[in-house]
């Protein structure tokens, strides 16, 4: 099973990915997480770190050639043999076309579009906190940890992403509309786009996605 999650920034890709990879036993490939690891120096390889950080902090997309190369390399790892979940890739029609051409043996079964109203996204993003150790995602408004700013699972102090400031979030939403939304018709034309109501609770969204997958 090869799946891609398509959603605006804060649309719930990371949150649903955590659940889906466990339920389906497939690899999680988040290009955003990979870039954050590259910036931290914990992802092996030679990368233009300053260039990547500059794009991310401005809320802009990292150039297609860099993203596609890293994603294709990651897809060759052993853990992807049972299938994979793409979280945040592709993000432009050009990335999708390059992926279709260069990874023709790794066809996507579904592209799941999480449809979310824009008003709620700002609160989701500025309220997001995550655990630097296990990666668990919280939200101070919707899904807070039991103890203020501390991970429920391992007691680490939660962090806020540097691109979750209101200025960068506004830019990321603008870039999504311009660069990423054309992918909706790209995958609709291929007959693999499935729409899910992303405004429901985390559990309900997960249930809807699983229904789509199980109906295959
Ligand atoms: P990336 O990390 O992919 O960021 P993004 O797409 O902007 O998405 P987010 O991670 O912000 O949101 P999400 O949809 O995962 O939501 P989450 O589940 O965390 O990319 C970062 C940057 O890297 C990009 O800006 C770009 O520079 C670069 N990049 C990455 N991929 C690239 C590519 N392919 N090409 C070029 N550049 C690329 O949820 C958000 C919050 O909402 C959380 O607090 C969560 O608890 C809460 N929440 C989730 N679901 C619900 C719900 N149902 N109800 C209420 N709250 C909810």
Verify whether ligand 1 is closer than 6 Å to residue 15 (CB atom).
Answer: yes
Contact 172, 83 (CB under 8 A): no
Q: CA nearest 119: which of 179, 177, 165, 173? A: 173
Ligand 1 atom closest to the CA of 205, numbered from 1: 53
Residue ranges of the chain with pLDDT lower than 50? Answer: none
* Residue 133 is among the residues annotated as catalytic for this protein: no
Percent of residues in the chain assigned helix, strand, coil, to nearest 5:
50, 15, 35
**pTM for this predicted structure:** 0.95
Q: Is the Cα dihedral 67, 69, 5, 19 positive or negative?
A: negative
- Other CB atoms within a 10 A radius of the CB of residue 176 amount to 21
Q: What is the pLDDT of residue 44?
A: 84
Tell me the CA–centroid distance for residue 87 and ligand 1, in Å: 8
Segment 134-175, tens digit of pLDDT: 999 999 999 999 999 999 999 999 999 989 999 999 999 999
């Amino acid at each position: 099973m090869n799946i891609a999650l398509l959603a605006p920034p804060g649309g719930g890709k990371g949150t649903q990915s955590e659940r889906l990879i466990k339920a389906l036993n497939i690899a999680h490939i988040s290009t955003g997480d990979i870039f954050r690891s590259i910036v931290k120096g914990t992802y092996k390889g030679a990368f233009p770190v300053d260039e990547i950080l500059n794009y991310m902090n401005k809320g802009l997309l990292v150039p297609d050639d860099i993203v596609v190369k890293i994603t294709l390399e990651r897809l060759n790892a052993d853990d992807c043999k049972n299938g994979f979940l793409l979280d945040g890739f592709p993000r432009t029609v050009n990335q999708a076309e390059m992926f279709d051409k260069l990874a023709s043996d790794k066809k996507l079964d579904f592209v799941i579009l999480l449809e979310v109203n824009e008003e709620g996204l700002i609160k989701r993003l500025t309220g997001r906190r995550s655990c630097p150790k296990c990666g668990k995602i919280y939200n101070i408004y919707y899904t807070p940890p039991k103890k203020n700013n501390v991970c429920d699972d391992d007691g680490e102090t939660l962090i806020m992403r540097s691109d979750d400031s209101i200025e960068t979030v506004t830019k990321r939403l603008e870039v999504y509309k311009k660069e990423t939304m054309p992918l909706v018709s790209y995958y609709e034309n291929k007959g693999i786009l499935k729409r899910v109501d992303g405004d429901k609770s985390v559990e309900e969204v997960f249930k809807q996605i699983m229904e789509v997958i199980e109906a295959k």
